Amino acid sequence: MRHALTGHGASRGNALGRARVRLPHALEVAEEHVAADAVEGEIRQLHTAIDAVRVEMRNMRTRLHGALAHEVGEFLDLHTLLLDDPELLQGLDDLVRKGRYGADYALRLQRDRLAAVFEGMDDPYFRSRVEDIDHVIGRVHAMLHKREADLQGVAGEILVTDAIAPAELSQLQAQGVLAVVTAGGSALSHSAILARSLHLPLVVGAPLALQQVNDGDVLVVDGSSGEIVVEPNAADLRAYRGRLREEKRERKQLHRLRREPSRTLDGVDIRLWANAESREDVTGAHALGAAGVGLYRTEFLFLQRSELPDEEEQFRAYRDVVLGMTGRAVTIRTMDIGADKADRTGLALTNEPNPALGLRGVRLSLARIDVFRTQLRAMLRASGYGPLRVLVPMVSGREEVLAVAALLRDVARELRSEGHEIAEHVPLGAMIEVPAAAIALPTFIGSVDFISVGTNDLTQYLLAADRGNDALGELYSPLHPAMLLLLRNVIRTARARGKPVAVCGEMAGDAALTPLLLALGLEEFSLHPATLLEVRRAIRAQRLDALRAAAPALLRCRDRDAIDRWLRARAAPA
């Protein structure tokens, strides 16, 4: 019987298919003991399964490119590290040897032990990591029984589940899944961001879905509105086909914008930079007419390996990006290791009590000055092949900026004395991700050449809301009055000193928020190539003078609802 459910649209697109319901994960196995002479064989089985899962995840990691490598890779790296955790491995061995438990039940007991430790922690970041433990243990359990994990057999279907991990999404798409509906989650989570990059329809926050959808039900899913129709009628099917026709028309319109300027109706040109971390991203940015690369992530050179990349390896990677943009500027961010980015080189600290507030970004770089110096040498050498800018993450104040600027000058002198051809001036920029840096910007704006605002972390730290924590999905939002005031002040401070300022977080790639950012004074966006044309279209539909005149009304908004109303009033006609 037809009925409708509502959630939050997290990734645009429409899908029609049969439901496949995956209930919340629970490793339910009966207690089983093994004979004394079977203990070592049971342990070998466990280790063989763990080794096989390691290989599986390593192979998945090597197949990832671009946005997938960034978003999925972080989680695969984290899960691989969990498999190497001595606490997990030794605990499993002890349970089998001392308790003579079967491998299945040992997995269950060890999962429960670790989950209890994490759930008992005060830090919400660590409490949310129980999901990662379940994911890893589930993979080992599936491998132990020589069967595939739960995500097989979804081709042509719509997955309905409690939550979805980023590492699962690429598998789902490869297997032919049409859309995903989750009972929890946030439209600004890692999974939602990745779903948008994959163009995979996703509806989150639909708590009744698990109760009211059965395996085999026909669903229509609208990833824009968040509506789910169970057992659609003729009118629903007509509406669905109409949306598909509209999507096709929109794709044609966007394709025609590839060579058009990013210019407002009143003739103001807005610069659209591309975020990138692979040659594929750079190629896409070039083809779409991006002004340059506004954020090139370097973490991929450091993660999922046992040794640090040397100067030559880094130099070749940075040089190739510069050459790929054929004269358009490339902004290379220094290593942002730490927090939830798994690292096997020993560079980042392990077991930090609160990684998100720990030794990461520029803090780690300045603590490991030898590694940082090598990276800066590679960057400056690449500057001899085309315009290059250096961007420093997680800046919190003036001292860090001055320290990096001094080191950059010292490295430049050293390279010139060695006979290397480098640019006469390599611009230095600071990422504004920490509220303290946003507030104290006037104290160091004179020491940098440009500013880039990372709205993902800035929102998280400003609101004290972990964007990876589903329980805080409604709280974590850049559409908060305090966030808008902070953005306005950062943009105003930078422009008053004649310094370019861009937004490189998720806000920049959301075309629905383009009028808001323009109204606040932003004239440079840095975004994933997949969303560049949508933002270009949004820019071309607006008058900048009208938006700037409406900025005071925006800044007077007292809550999210008022900001949403302001945006709806200025949305471009379809």
CA dihedral 472, 477, 481, 482 (to 10 degrees): 70
- Report in angstroms the alpha-carbon separations of 89 from 42, 137, 340, 395: 13, 11, 21, 38
The strand pairing partners of 527, in sequence order, are 274
Residue 126 exposure: Cα atoms within 13 Å on the Cβ side: 16
Tens place of pLDDT for every residue, the chain, 574 residues? 899 999 999 898 999 999 988 866 555 577 888 888 888 888 888 888 888 888 777 766 665 555 455 555 666 666 666 777 777 788 888 888 888 888 888 888 888 887 777 666 655 555 556 666 777 777 787 777 665 444 455 678 999 988 887 767 877 887 889 999 998 877 767 778 778 878 899 999 898 998 899 989 999 999 999 999 999 999 999 999 999 999 888 888 888 898 899 999 999 999 999 998 777 888 888 889 999 999 999 988 887 677 889 999 999 999 999 999 999 999 999 998 764 454 555 666 555 666 667 778 899 999 999 999 999 999 999 999 999 999 999 999 999 999 999 999 999 999 999 999 999 999 999 999 999 999 999 999 999 999 999 998 999 899 987 766 666 666 778 999 999 999 999 999 999 999 999 999 889 999 999 999 999 999 999 998 888 999 999 999 999 999 999 999 999 999 999 999 999 999 876 5
- Report in angstroms the alpha-carbon separations of 159 from 23, 154, 186, 215, 534: 10, 7, 17, 9, 27
Domain shared by 12 and 87, yes or no: no
Q: How far is CA 202 from the centre of its chain?
A: 15
Domain shared by 136 and 198, yes or no: no
Domain shared by 388 and 431, yes or no: yes
Q: How far is CA 92 from the centre of its chain?
A: 33
CA dihedral 242, 245, 247, 252 (to 10 degrees): -160
Q: Is 504 a catalytic residue?
A: yes
The strand pairing partners of 501, in sequence order, are 451
Domain shared by 296 and 403, yes or no: yes
Q: How many domains does the chain have?
A: 3
Place of tokens 């690429």: 170
CATH number reported for the structural domain that contains residue 317 in this entry: 3.20.20.60
Q: How far apart are CA 206 and CA 208, in angstroms?
A: 6
Identify the active-site residue in 286, 504, 528, 557: 504
With respect to residue 245, please indicate whether it lies within any of the assigned structural domains. Answer: no
* 431 within 8 A of 395, measured Cβ to Cβ: yes
Query: Cα-flanking dihedrals φ and ψ of residue 278, to 5°?
Result: -150, 165
Q: How far apart are CA 431 and CA 435, in angstroms?
A: 11
Q: Is residue 99 exposed (0-12), middle (13-18) or buried (19+ Cβ within 10 Å)?
A: middle
CATH number reported for the structural domain that contains residue 163 in this entry: 3.50.30.10
Query: What type of residue sits at position 546?
Result: A
- Report in angstroms the alpha-carbon separations of 143 from 97, 138, 150: 21, 9, 11
Q: How far apart are CA 231 and CA 542, in angstroms?
A: 40
Domain shared by 317 and 179, yes or no: no
Residue 424 exposure: Cα atoms within 13 Å on the Cβ side: 0
Query: What type of residue sits at position 154?
Result: V
DSSP string for 168-186: HHHHHHHTT--EEEESS--
CB contact set of 307 (below 8 Å; sequence gap of 6+): 345
The strand pairing partners of 388, in sequence order, are 330
Domain shared by 216 and 291, yes or no: no
Q: What is the pLDDT of residue 28?
A: 59
Place of tokens 């004074």: 521
Domain shared by 365 and 321, yes or no: yes
Instruction: Identify which of 115, 89, 86 has the alpha carbon closest to the alpha carbon of residue 27.
Output: 115
Q: Give the tokens for residue 374.
A: 């090598």
Domain shared by 268 and 399, yes or no: yes
Last residue of a domain, one of 127, 144, 161: 144
With respect to residue 246, please indicate whether it lies within any of the assigned structural domains. Answer: no
Q: How far apart are CA 278 and CA 64, in angstroms?
A: 10
Domain shared by 54 and 179, yes or no: no
With respect to residue 244, please indicate whether it lies within any of the assigned structural domains. Answer: no
* 183 within 8 A of 163, measured Cβ to Cβ: yes
Domain shared by 410 and 388, yes or no: yes
Give the SS3 label for residue 474: coil
With respect to residue 249, please indicate whether it lies within any of the assigned structural domains. Answer: no
CATH number reported for the structural domain that contains residue 93 in this entry: 1.10.274.10
With respect to residue 422, please indicate whether it lies within any of the assigned structural domains. Answer: yes
With respect to residue 287, please indicate whether it lies within any of the assigned structural domains. Answer: yes
CB contact set of 177 (below 8 Å; sequence gap of 6+): 154, 155, 157, 158, 159, 200
Q: How far apart are CA 456 and CA 468, in angstroms?
A: 11
Instruction: Identify which of 237, 228, 328, 221 has the alpha carbon closest to the alpha carbon of residue 274.
Output: 328
DSSP 149: -
Identify the active-site residue in 8, 79, 190, 528: 190
The strand pairing partners of 338, in sequence order, are 341
Q: Domain range spanning residue 429?
A: 255-569
Give the SS3 label for residue 153: coil
Q: Give the tokens for residue 20.
A: 């496949």
Place of tokens 């989570």: 189
Domain shared by 94 and 226, yes or no: no
Q: Is 190 a catalytic residue?
A: yes
With respect to residue 574, please indicate whether it lies within any of the assigned structural domains. Answer: no
CB contact set of 429 (below 8 Å; sequence gap of 6+): 331, 389, 390, 391, 392, 448, 449, 450, 451, 452
Length of the chain equals 574
The secondary element (H helix, E strand) that includes residue 380 is: helix 369-382
The sign of the dihedral angle between the CA atoms of 466, 468, 472, 473 is positive
Instruction: Identify which of 121, 152, 115 has the alpha carbon closest to the alpha carbon of residue 136.
Output: 115
* 309 within 8 A of 334, measured Cβ to Cβ: no
Domain shared by 276 and 188, yes or no: no
Rg (CA), the chain: 25
Last residue of a domain, one of 144, 162, 190: 144
With respect to residue 239, please indicate whether it lies within any of the assigned structural domains. Answer: no
Last residue of a domain, one of 110, 128, 144: 144
